[in-house]
Structure 1
Amino acid sequence: MTEIEMNIESLTICDDARQMLRKAKAEGIETVWDRLAGQKHCTFCEQGLSCQKCVMGPCRIVAKGGKVKLGVCGADADLTVARNFGRFIAAGSASHSDHGRDVIETLAAVAEGTTRDFEVRDEQKLARLAGELGIATEGKEPKALAGELCALLYQDFCSRSKELSFVRRLPEKRRALWNKLGITPRGIDREVVEMMHRTHMGVDSDPVSICLHAARTALSDGWGGSMIATELSDILFGTPTPRASQVNLGVLKKDQINILLHGHSPIVSETILAAARSPEMIAKAKAAGAAGINVAGLCCTGNEVLMRQGVPMAGNHLMTELALVTGAVELMVVDYQCIMPSLPHIASCYHTRFVTTSDKAHFPGATHVDFHFDNAGAKAREVVELAIEAFAGRDPGRVDIPGTPVEIMTGFSNEAVLAALGGTLDPLIDALKSGAVRGVAAIVGCNNPKQQHDYSHVTLARELIKKNILVVATGCATVALGKAGLLVPAGADQAGEGLRGVCNALGIPPVLHVGSCVDNSRIIHLCALLANALGLDISDLPVAASAPEWYSEKAAAIGLYAVASGVYTHLGLPPNILGSEMVTKLALEGLEDVVGASFAVEIDPVAAAGLMDARISAKRTALGLSA
């Protein structure tokens, strides 16, 4: 085992994580931090200057003695970085959009009557969404309406449309700008495929052209695949409403069978949850000697069932290995995305079963149970029975569940936000005008072992709410902010006077949990609603976004679609583009003149809060409001 090359306290701010890191070290379990310490980092890769797109190479682009060294094909640093970044964005956009495709297929199966395991739970949203997209709704049964909606949204994945269905939600100024720049997303799969084509050797050799298409590709995710996933998941599983839950590893139960849901797709997690709550499975668990079955979430599928069902969250990305180290987990069931390949091995060090469910995501050492819309219920019961069987193998001497669960409030969909405001955005607009709420900031996404776990999420949020900036959160940031006491109304005690007053009046936290990383589409939709209500473009609003601990291709795509939509976006770490002065300058400065927003990179969350606050102040001043 590679020794952790730093003090455990410096790796994470979370006590439950620190306890499990010590246990992992004592038991010889290698974690993500050990593996990071054992890596030798490649400067060329970090700067985006390595190329493996053909076998004339691989090439490394470098300047020596003032003379630029080109790749074999003649590509310079700017082109190499742009190509690599374009493919990075394409992979991230494809991932979230493929999630959206899975949800369409499931809703289509409901419409066609080929599944009994799923149903339309929010008929009002189905009718409202269909009407918004131009489908006649009067006199139609939910299944018929769902079928028409799926047929329309399936078209968004192909190449025959001029623009995606949800583009109509945008302010006219933003639509006109995208059309002028040629970045209006046409088809989700089309933009991804075109990016792969453009970045093949001998195709697009203009770095700016490639970067603009990267923006178009990211927009096909934000206003296409991700938005489809969010909206149709609400129709299938229910639109989230505010509810109470809990967070941290303390949500695991010593006397119960513990099942962890990990991945991103609610299609799997919802059916596992239903099976685990069934009287039949609870009876089997008690017959096996357990007090019951406890289901908890990890990462984004955890966020999905947290939002809709109040299922407690055990942890975020960097907690997934440590959750297994508790020795209390009978089964971890996964679908796809953000699942470390190390997990089946760590599970094998305990009695834990590790189960995969997607054809797209096989893991050596796992038990594969193939889930589809036509067999999900039966397969879910099969998986829960595996957990019940595993309970007999638990070693009580190796069980260590750290901490006490922290209370949180969740479920702030856009519909829930509007309901809290009395059905209109006017109270929020009034609060923005008065300065009680100076702006809105999103804190989203991942953890990265290069940074102290959860420090940036928590510090940034606290700094923002002190400045009377309302925070909305998604993804792995949720767990960090929940542990810090910011996802309950009492968290408003840490906010500035104006925001505190608004939170107390509405009975809401200063940080609103709005969903999984796919649900960042809720945030850009809310921005569009605000802009439309005020007759502005999104880039005119006093809003900002941050991914302070990001790591993934999906996060880069989210950041780029936010910027291309007009939202200033902070990153805690730079993407691998620093080898190109042109691409770096475009990201940090040039995009401001092109799309009305840009990126900022700052590892210090206090300094980052200052940058976001300055942006919000500038936008307020431009609107004639007090800074």
Structure 2
Amino acid sequence: MDTSKRFDKGNGGCPKIQCEANIDVLCQSCASGVVTAAHRVELRATEPCLFGKGGTCCRNCNMGPCQIIEGVDQMIGICGADASTVAARNFARIVAGGASAHIDHGRGLVMAFLATAKGETPYTIKDEDKLRETALRLGIVPNGKDKNDLAIEVGTLLINEFGQQSGRLLFAGRAPKPRQELWARLGVMPRGIDREVVELMHRTHMGVDQDYRNILFQAARCSMADGWGASMIATELSDIMFGRPAPIRTKVNIGVLKEDEVNVTVHGHEPVLAEALAMAANDPEIIAEAKKVGARGINLAGVCCTGNEILMRRGLPIAGSFIQQEVVLATGAVEVMVVDVQCIMQGVSPAANRYHTELITTSERAKMAGATHIQFEEHRALDVAREILRRAIERYPRRGEHYIPIYQADVVAGFSHETINYILGGRFRASYRPLNDNIANGRIRGVAAIVGCDNYRVFDEIHVELAKELIANDVLVVVTGCAATGVGRAGLLNPTALTMAGPGLREVLEAVGCPPVLHMGSCVDNSRILVALTEMAKIGGLGSDISDLPAIGCAPQWMSEKAVAIGQYFVTSGAAVVFGPNFPTSGSRVVTDYCMKDMQNLYGATWDVAQTPNEFANKMIDKINEKRRALGLDKKKERVLFDMAMRRELGSPGAALHDVGCHGPG
């Protein structure tokens, strides 16, 4: 692979790449020779394998791999497996893989939570109110109990759900009653968190479950063990330990790196590590050591979903999303990149090794050649964090040729379920009633979630154009994960973006001072959206179940198995999901029709697929309008159709951040 070529803005040979900041950095001489995912996409001679992309390549035994073509007798598996069986198995294994990532994350959070309650870590139980609310929700009477004793009781109850073999998951009891009854009737109520993953992997082993419908039922149950199990547990306990997010101002994009400070980027998904680094970065002793080498202090910036975690709670900036991780290193201005688990490209290791940058892995689950490993352990969290920061300080004087771009955008983030509740009703009348009422009266058409990854295979930032079209059509948008970082770079997580919203949405949000796109956290925090949808259903006026609501989700640039698990638990919960630019069962029309048609009859929601922002917007708004008609709210409201001239006129809403009126509780 030729690594000598760098991006050149003017020579026409520049690989297609999202974000002006990426292009700016990779055009600089300091980035010469750095190979990023964008280069690797262009240098690949072929498109992805059509059999693999469509879900019809079977590797589940050593008689294969077998490439299957639906409807062709000669192109079935050696064992006789047809396209529907193979595509369902592969889809199910994607769900199992994605759910496993969130489940292991959730287990780690509970163990850290229990250690904290026992006084074995430097963390504390910050949100005692939420601890007591959670205890009550779990059937524990909190009256008069010491907060740490109560936390041990809560944590013990939740950790037991991972190994539970029968019954149902406690947080599934938060769902609307009609939804719980549907799950029980269909047999998709999760019994135990780990059990559902293991059973799904067993069913998809060669020679076990060979009915695509039965396989996909277990995939649905497995996804629920993620969304209503481990992910919800992780989010709730993170809030109790580190504090509920509330609206906070900060910045995103590579320009948040600082010339005169020690730049440490933390990349991955574990808030426990990020919190320790944030605590240590404010240690006067560490700051003094940084000043001794000529730096003003420590600049801690996030990458990927760890960035969303520390942004939501501490207001620390995000340097980059998934697609920017190697580009952040190509600035030559990062002293240390700390990584834990999930979405970390192996390409960060050779990229870091071209500079003075040290790449540090911190989880025994995720080591990498060329990196230094420092095992992170909760009971010595601050000691590990200080060691990492001291290594970064030692490297600061070695910083050579580098380039920090000007690109950064002001954002307001931190919209947890509780904060939205508070914003809409205040401390004493917190309620989703104003949201439901404004959907019913037509000021707000509905709610859309844009979630998931960004992806170098998708050359346009669909997230951004789609969000603009949705808010222009009076659809309130919530975002999580790397989608949130992308729309943040475009200025949409900013109250100034209300100028781009439709008149009804603008009128409502101007009253509370919120941006038209609400940042709700990392990919594990999609459980916050489940809770918000449940609350909307319980308030009334928009039906009695999630499937009745004028609400829909999408993942326009999905990359990770986790995105499929998330999408499936939303569909199983009654919220339709549009994926793009492709769907992992397309090689089997039978299975794809089941996902995109038959699931509607089962769950009241279905999958769909789209490719362009306009196609996504059409499908999502049509689905919202269908729900409005079913509720008798079908006042005529034409869709605003965007042409290229209108998109150019919209541009960026500007960098200035207006005063924000949406302050969270406390």
TM-score range, shorter chain: over 0.9
* 1:431 corresponds to 2:434: no
Aligned residue type for 1:315: G
> Which residue, 214, 221, 244 being the options, matches 1:216?
221
- 1:69 maps to which of 72, 75, 93: 75
- Provide the TM-score with structure 2 as the length reference: 0.91
Output one character per residue of 1:151-202: Cα deviation in whole Å (capped at 9) or x when no partner: 1111221233311111111111111111111101111100000001101112
2:510 aligned with 1:504, yes or no?
yes
Q: CA deviation at 1:63?
A: 5.8
1:480 matches 2:483: no
The 1-side partners of 2:13 and 2:139 are apart by 56
How many angstroms apart in 2 are the aligned matches of 1:385 and 1:93?
Answer: 36
Select which of 550, 573, 579 maps to 1:565.
573
Partner Cα separation in structure 1 for residue 6 and residue 339 of structure 2: 27
Q: Does 1:587 align with 2:592?
A: no
Amino acid at match of 1:78: S
Give the distance between the partners of 1:56 and 1:429, measured in 2 at CA: 56
Aligned with residue 555 of structure 1, among 540, 557, 563: 563
Q: Which residue of 1 aligns with 2:116?
A: 110
Bigger mean CA deviation after superposition, 48-57 or 465-474: 48-57
Shift of 1:278: 1.0
Q: How far apart are 1:336 and its partner, in Å?
A: 0.3
The yes-or-no answer on 1:451 pairing with 2:458 is: yes
Cα deviations across residues 372-426 of structure 1 (Å, max 9, x unaligned)? 111111000000001001112101xx21111242111011111111110121111
Superposed CA deviations along residues 493-546 of structure 1, whole A, max 9, x for unmatched, are 000000011111100000000100000000011101111121511000000111
What is the deviation of 1:236? 0.7
- Alignment match, 2:335: 330
Amino acid of the structure 1 residue aligned with 2:608: A
1:150 to 149, 155, 161: 155
Q: SS state of the match for residue 380, structure 1?
A: helix
In the alignment, is the contact (CA less than 8 A) between 2:232 and 2:527 conserved in 1?
yes
Q: Is the 8 A contact 1:94 1:192 kept in 2?
A: yes
2:278 paired residue number: 273
Distance 1:426 1:10, change over 3 A: farther
* Bigger shift: residues 476-485 or 321-330: 476-485
C-alpha change, 1:7 and 1:621, in structure 2 (3 Å) is farther
String of CA shifts for 1:579-610, please: whole Å, max 9, x gaps: 11111111111111111111111110111111
Q: Say if 2:580 is the partner of 1:577.
A: no
Distance 1:51 1:25 in 2: 44
2:535 is the counterpart of 1:515: no
| Greater alpha carbon shift after TM alignment, 495-504 vs 571-580 | 571-580
Q: Give 1:363's aligned amino acid.
A: M
Tell me the residue number matched to 2:498. 492
- Partners in 1 of 2:555 and 2:35 — Cα distance? 27
SS of residue paired to 1:180: helix
Partner of 2:363: 358
Q: Deviations over 1:443-481 (max 9, x none)?
A: 11201111115x201000000000100000101011211
Which residue of 1 is the match for residue 406 of structure 2?
403
Can you give the 5+ residue segments of structure 1 that lack an aligned partner in the other structure? none
2 CA distance for matches of 1:350 and 1:383?
17
Pair 1:418 & 2:421 matched: yes
**Worse-matched range after superposition: 15-24 or 349-358:** 15-24
- 8 Å CA contact 2:30, 2:402 repeated in 1: no
Give the structure 2 partner of residue 465 of structure 1.
471
Compute the TM-score of the two structures, normalised by the length of structure 1: 0.97
Partner amino acid, structure 1, of 2:565: A
Alpha-carbon spacing, 1:174–1:19, altered in 2? closer, same or farther (3 Å): same
**Aligned-partner SS, 1:407:** strand
- Aligned residue for 1:462, secondary structure, equals helix
Question: Quick check: 1:386 aligned with 2:376?
Answer: no
Partner of 1:206: 211
CA contact (8 A) 1:8 1:18 kept: no
Q: CA deviation at 1:238?
A: 0.6
Number of aligned pairs?
622
Q: 1:135 to 1:476 in 2, by over 3 A?
A: same
Describe the SS at the equivalent of 2:398: coil
Q: Report the equivalent of 1:47.
A: 54
From the superposition, tell whether residues 104 and 604 of structure 1 become closer, same or farther in structure 2 (CA, over 3 Å): same
Tell me the CA shift for residue 97 of structure 1. 1.2
CA gap 1:7/1:143 in 2 versus in 1, 3 angstroms? farther
Query: Quick check: 147-156 or 257-266, which moved more?
Result: 147-156
- Tell me which residue corresponds to 1:291: 296
**Counterpart of 2:142 in 1: which secondary structure?**
coil
Query: What letter is aligned with 1:125?
Result: K
CA distance, structure 1, for counterparts of residue 496 and residue 450 of structure 2: 19
Q: Secondary structure at the match of 1:447?
A: coil
Name the CA distance, whole Å, in 2 between partners of 1:405 and 1:291.
20
Correspondence 1:310-321 to 2 at 5 A: 310-321=315-326
Question: Aligned letter for 1:409?
Answer: V
Report the alpha carbon displacement of residue 273 of structure 1 after superposing the two structures with TM.
Answer: 1.1
2:41 aligned to 26, 33, 36, which one? 36
Which of 633, 642, 649 in structure 2 is aligned with 1:625? 633
What's the offset of the Cα at 1:114? Answer: 2.5
Deviations 1:30-87 (A, max 9, x none): 11022122333322211212111111222222369x5342212111111111111111
Quick check: 1:68–1:76 contact (8 Å CA) kept in 2?
no
Q: What's the % identity of the aligned pairs?
A: 46
Matches of 1:425 and 1:297, distance apart in 2: 31
Question: Do the aligned partners of residues 25 and 111 (structure 1) sit closer, same or farther apart at CA in structure 2, a change above 3 Å counting?
Answer: closer
- Report the CA distance between 1:8 and its aligned residue: 7.0
2:624 maps to what in 1? 616
Gap regions ≥5 residues in structure 2: 636-666
Query: Matches of 2:275 and 2:489 in 1, distance apart?
Result: 24
User: 2: CA distance between counterparts of 1:44 and 1:274?
Assistant: 48
Query: Does the residue aligned with 1:379 lie in a helix, a strand or coil?
Result: helix
| Contact in 1 for aligned 2:68/2:75 (Cα 8 Å) | yes
Contact (CA 8 Å) 2:6, 2:31: kept in 1 or not?
no
Equivalent pair of 1:11/1:451 in contact (CA under 8 Å):
no
SS of equivalent residue, structure 1 residue 62: coil
Aligned partners of 1:262, 1:522: CA distance in 2, in Å?
22
Q: Which residue of 2 aligns with 1:56?
A: 63
